[in-house]
Structure 1
Amino acid sequence: MEFAVRTWSAGARLGSLQLAAGLQVETPGLLLLTRKGLPAFIPPDLLQNLHPDARACQVTPLHFLESPNATTVAKAGGLHKLVSLTGFGMVAVARDSLMDESNGEGSSKMGASFETSSGRRVVGPAKYMEVVNAFKPDLWVSLPDEVPSWVAEKRNRLSVDRTLQWLDQCLSLQPAEYGNRCLGVVVGSTSLDERIRSAEQTATRNVAGFSLGGFGLGEDAAQRAVQMEAVLTKLPKEKVRHVSGIGLPGMRVLFTKGNRTQNCVLQM
């Protein structure tokens, strides 16, 4: 994966993302929301007729905990081959109903709880990366501990600490032969200090880019704009950025804007 910024203007960036299969995605660009790797309500034979910037899909690894499971996806040769979308990029994102299920900050059983077809299941970095590695995605987002805007300060700090810990564990489970395809998650809810701490610490890790997590969970638009602007000043300008949960329902954006983060919609 290679990302290149072609031009800057008033804090905004235009770039291109070269994916492993030779596919080039222009940024900013839309990530198509999928269910088990296939965009909802759009037949695969019509995908090529969509906007030329819509050439990447956002897929949730937690949809593959039961069927088809990671073993099935791996035997098929990865998610691109399983769903016959070799001409599209695949970005694995754990964007779902998350809930803390750990027994404490030092617990080895720490994980996030996700709603599945067979009820809630706790998923830690090892299980998460088992599915991600089976996908062979073009990019993947590390497992986050996202919390809503109304949590206490102590819980928010714990969210940042856990997300950094899980990032390190996920990176240690990334196959070396695939290269660096990880987007580290920046969290911190509505605390500007915690957002900045999360961004600074995530930027020290060996990641290909960043995912701005925890938005769309109760903050207002004014808070969101201030937090994003502060976070982006702490992240390397040459790396790709992703955000979800701030547009209209069903929209996901491969985020490469600078200061004007509050306008992260399809018209960017």
Structure 2
Amino acid sequence: MKHFVVKKTWSNGVRVGALEVGNITATGGVVIETPALLISTRKGLPHFTPPDLLPSLPSPDSHFLQLSPLHFLEGLSPTTISKIGGLHKLIGLPDYAIAAVPRDSIHSIPESKSASKLGPTFETPCGRLLVKPKDYVQMISCMRPNIWATLADEVPAWVSDKRNRTSVDRTLRWLDDCLALNPAQGCKAIGSIFGAIVGGSNLDERKRCAEEVAKRNVAGYWIGGFGLGEAIDERSSLLRAIVDVLPDEKPRMICGLELPEEILQGIAAGIDLFDSTYIYSLTLGGFALTFSLDKNGNQDNFQKNKMGSDSTKINLRATVYRKDMSPIIKNCTCHTCQNYTKAYINHLFNVHEMLAQTLLEIHNTHHYLMFFRVIREAIQEGRFENYRQTFIESRREHYDRGVVCEVEGTRWLDKIVQFVLKCIGFGVN
């Protein structure tokens, strides 16, 4: 990471900035406007989108990739990656920034029960693995990402206060170990370090961890432990306890906030970088994002869902789309909507063609990146809070209307059933 600058901050802590990340080319770098979405990857590449279609995504918004070093515990060894020249040369994307984070909510899930003072434990496709700071830093040094987060002992929301204290103590110890193992600044440095902050649902432990990490010589902060069972109502106070003690001049990355409402909640607390495993989950399930990108946050023009989903997305596996010759979203500029129809994608799902996931991931990634653009514009113009409230209230009103329609539909269905039963001789009292 070369430089991070906060362009504008409002009194409530909401801010926009720019993160400049160097690449392996001789000159230049990647400048990412924040708040920003990091593209979730498997071994450095998106799960379904091939490299030749990456340029079709919004640029430079899509030029920030996130991966877990634990992905490479199967396949190529870190030593082989080092001989190739690092991850950028391995995947052939020298102009993209890469952030390495141990936790991956898809393939590398933290397992708090098996963690020890030696290191955290993860459930991976290779089985349950204990990762020690020395081994982790060695992997990082071979892969050479632009940014990497230190190890964290993440725990679910329901653990005891004692376990939370242990989690914070271990995370701070591993942070110091990673800092000690990191080569000196200069040509041998292995990227910018983001110190991990944990503490579960304990407000005091969250604050203590943030205060201690802020004392260390790190380039930014990675906030972990969210999305592990905490109530959405308590999340704002937890985030505020963390952010209030962190310096403003350093970026903040978080894992576990994925839904549109959760993204808005994180941005309201002053978070700069978010992961995108939500896109993978949607794509795998056959869902396409369709919520409105209205600059005021109004959701009155939601597409009418035909299969009872939650009004943010549609299920393209549903048979109702097999003859639908319209794009996913009429005015969407993504590669998928410009060239393919719902009927074609539905057909691809029916015949089990992987192209279905590819086209769907392109659309979902494009849509979420544009969502972040709309948010940044709202912050710049000083109307983020209005945008957030309108977005959430419109969603709630839409849900309420949907519930009323379902109830009314059920009543009419009951009347029809009663009428049919009477006609065939089965009277209903």
Q: TM-score, normalised by structure 2?
A: 0.57
Question: 1:241 touches 1:256 (CA, 8 Å); kept in 2?
Answer: no
Distance 1:152 1:192 in 2: 13
Larger displacement relative to structure 2 (63-72 or 240-249): 240-249
Q: CA RMSD in A?
A: 2.2
SS in 1 for 2:170: helix
> Does residue 1:202 correspond to 2:204, yes or no?
no
Matches within 5 A, 1:99-248: 99-100=111-112, 101-102=114-115, 105=117, 110-176=118-184, 177=186, 178=189, 181-248=192-259
Work out which of the residue numbers 65, 68, 72 in structure 1 matches 2:73: 65
Match for 1:60: what amino acid? Answer: S
Distance 1:221 1:117 in 2: 30
Distance 1:14 1:66 in 2: 38
Q: Which residue does the alignment assign to 1:6?
A: 7
Distance 1:102 1:138 in 2: 27
Give per-residue Cα distances to partners, 1:186-240, cap 9 Å, x unaligned.
1000000000000000000000010111000000111111100111000001100
Match for 1:259: what amino acid? Answer: A
Q: Which residue does the alignment assign to 1:27?
A: 34
> Does residue 1:47 correspond to 2:59, yes or no?
no
Match for 1:222: what amino acid? Answer: D
Q: Which residue does the alignment assign to 2:422?
A: none
Shift of residue 256, structure 1, vs aligned partner = 8.6
Distance 1:48 1:29 in 2: 18
Q: Which residue does the alignment assign to 1:15?
A: 17
Distance 1:72 1:256 in 2: 38
Match for 2:90: what amino acid? Answer: L
Change (3 A) 1:62 1:132: same
Q: Which residue does the alignment assign to 1:84?
A: 92
> Does residue 1:98 correspond to 2:110, yes or no?
yes
Question: 2:145 touches 2:190 (CA, 8 Å); kept in 1?
Answer: no
Shift of residue 102, structure 1, vs aligned partner = 4.9
Query: Which has the larger share of helix?
Result: 2
> Does residue 1:259 correspond to 2:266, yes or no?
no
Shift of residue 155, structure 1, vs aligned partner = 0.8
Distance 1:142 1:260 in 2: 21
Match for 1:12: what amino acid? Answer: V
Distance 1:221 1:256 in 2: 11
Shift of residue 180, structure 1, vs aligned partner = 6.0
The 4+ residue runs of structure 1 with deviation greater than 6 A are: none
Give per-residue Cα distances to partners, 1:17-36, cap 9 Å, x unaligned.
11122221111111000001
Unaligned stretches of 5+ residues in structure 1: none
Match for 1:17: what amino acid? Answer: L
Question: 2:115 touches 2:153 (CA, 8 Å); kept in 1?
Answer: no
Q: Which residue does the alignment assign to 2:411?
A: none
Shift of residue 66, structure 1, vs aligned partner = 3.0
Give per-residue Cα distances to partners, 1:116-147, cap 9 Å, x unaligned.
33321211111111111111111000010000
Distance 1:12 1:58 in 2: 23
Larger displacement relative to structure 2 (193-202 or 174-183): 174-183
Shift of residue 97, structure 1, vs aligned partner = 1.4
Question: 2:111 touches 2:123 (CA, 8 Å); kept in 1?
Answer: no
Question: 1:148 touches 1:214 (CA, 8 Å); kept in 2?
Answer: yes
Count how many residue pairs are aligned between Structure 1 and Structure 2.
258
Question: 1:14 touches 1:256 (CA, 8 Å); kept in 2?
Answer: no
Distance 1:71 1:55 in 2: 26
Higher gyration radius (CA) = 2
Distance 2:138 2:199 in 1: 27
Q: Percent identity?
A: 45
Query: Which has the larger share of strand?
Result: 1
Comparing both chains, which one has the higher relative contact order based on Cα–Cα distances under 8 Å and sequence gaps of 6 or more? 1
Distance 1:171 1:189 in 2: 23
